[in-house]
Chains A and B, each alone.
Chain A
Amino acid sequence: DDKTATKDEL
């Protein structure tokens, strides 16, 4: 789902 894409956090 979209979570694996939005790893924009440290």
Chain B
Amino acid sequence: SRIQHILEGFYLLD
């Protein structure tokens, strides 16, 4: 199994 990158669950702000 792999750990899903947490960034996928968040919005990257400038």
| A and B pair up | no
